[in-house]
Amino acid sequence: MRYLIDTHILLWHAENQKLSSELLDIINNPENIIYVSHVTLWEITIKVSIGKLSLNFNIGEFEKMLKANQFTILPFNFMCYQHLVSLPFHHQDPFDRMLIAQAKSEKIPLITHDSKIKLYDLDLISA
């Protein structure tokens, strides 16, 4: 099965926090493809650079962590933009809106803990 993980889920996984055993089973199952969006990488980098996010690891180590966990980077393509432009404004966070559009475009469930995302017509795995 394919899944897209939200930014906070990726950070919680990287820092070994807050994830249920059921969710860890999904993320760590080698039969599943776990996608990390370029959007997530942009969000983390921007928030670290402006001091809004602090990590327990160096941003340069992030690529090693992604590879070690066999996560797949998912680019944001023009089909994603088509979904993004028509999304209702249940959620104001631009990064979350892009992840929602990407999950819809790719037709894959989004793993998230954000309750606002539940307002969208989207396959979700709630953390």
| 3-state secondary structure string across 19-71 | CCHHHHHHHHCCCCEEEEEHHHHHHHHHHHHCCCCCCCCCHHHHHHHHHHCCC
pLDDT tens per residue across all 127 residues of the chain: 999 999 999 999 988 888 999 999 999 999 999 999 999 999 999 999 999 999 877 877 888 999 999 999 999 999 999 999 999 998 889 999 999 999 999 999 999 999 889 899 899 998 7
> Any idea which residue has 């990407």 for tokens?
102
pTM: 0.92
- Residue 81, C-beta contacts closer than 8 angstroms, at least 6 positions apart: 101
Which secondary structure element, helix H or strand E, spans residue 9, and what is its range? helix 7-14
What are the chain's domains? 2-126 (3.40.50.1010)
CB atoms within 10 A of CB 78: 7
